[in-house]
């Protein structure tokens, strides 16, 4: 499993799957490229999100949501 901190990303939040290079975009609502497996919420704030790349089945843990909400 790979971890990606959203704070370290440039641009609009798009990134490539660390295993197969599939572009994963937060604007993709179709779940064609990735599937949400498990959100982790603390005090009504999204802390992290576990997703799966639908091309290679790699699991990716997205972190950094709490800092994004304060920006």
The tens digit of pLDDT for each residue in 1-50 reads: 899 999 898 888 899 999 999 999 988 888 899 999 999 999 888 999 99
> What gap in Å lies between CA 44 and CA 34, rounded to an integer?
24
Which residue in 36, 6, 4 sits closest to 17, CA to CA? Answer: 4
Residue 69 pLDDT exceeds 70:
no
Residue 66 pLDDT exceeds 80:
no
Q: Mean per-residue pLDDT for 54-60?
A: 97
- Measure CA 18 to chain center: 12
pTM: 0.86
| Residue 50 confidence (pLDDT) | 97
Total number of domains constituting the chain: 1
Structural domain for 35, as ranges: 2-70
């Amino acid at each position: 499993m790979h971890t990606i901190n959203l704070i370290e990303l440039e641009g609009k939040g798009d990134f490539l799957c660390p295993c197969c290079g599939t572009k994963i975009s937060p604007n993709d609502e179709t779940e064609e490229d990735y599937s949400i497996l498990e959100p982790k919420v603390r005090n009504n704030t999204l802390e992290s999100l576990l997703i799966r790349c639908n091309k290679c089945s790699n699991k990716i843990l997205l972190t950094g949501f709490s800092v994004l909400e304060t920006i």
